[in-house]
Amino acid sequence: MANFLYIFRGGEMNRQSPQVMQQQMQKWGAWVQQLQRDGHFKAGEPLERGGKVVRGKQKAVTDGPYAEAKDLVGGYLLIEARDLDEATELSRGCPGLDVDGTVEIRPIASLDM
């Protein structure tokens, strides 16, 4: 088994009514619980909108990250799957896709130290 990172971007959740947002959060909970029951979920959390960005050799610190809503990273999951194909198939259950969001699936490189 290998580890993969799901990076969640965008989606129209902030433009929904509180009732629709609550339903969407319940879908997220059910999806993550299913990943847990099937032995794929390892870790994950939503991210706050604000933060800091440190850039370049000067290590300049600015408020951020500021990006277009469609590019803003809203959260992540660390999952375990046989291969990239299985990780991709598992991501199709993501409720964020129902509100026009995206899931970036990245294999975690193994560091032999």
Domains of the chain, each with CATH number or no CATH = 2-107 (3.30.70.1060)
Q: Please give the chain's pLDDT, 113 residues, in tens.
A: 999 999 999 877 666 788 888 998 999 999 999 999 999 999 999 888 888 889 999 999 988 777 666 678 889 999 999 999 999 999 999 999 998 899 999 999 988 77
CA distances in angstroms from 56 to 61, 64, 67, listed in the order given: 10, 15, 19
First to last CA, the chain: 19
| Identity at 29, one-letter amino acid code | G
- pLDDT 10s digits, 36-66: 999 999 999 988 888 888 999 999 998 877 7
Task: Say if CB 2 and CB 106 are below 8 A apart.
Answer: no
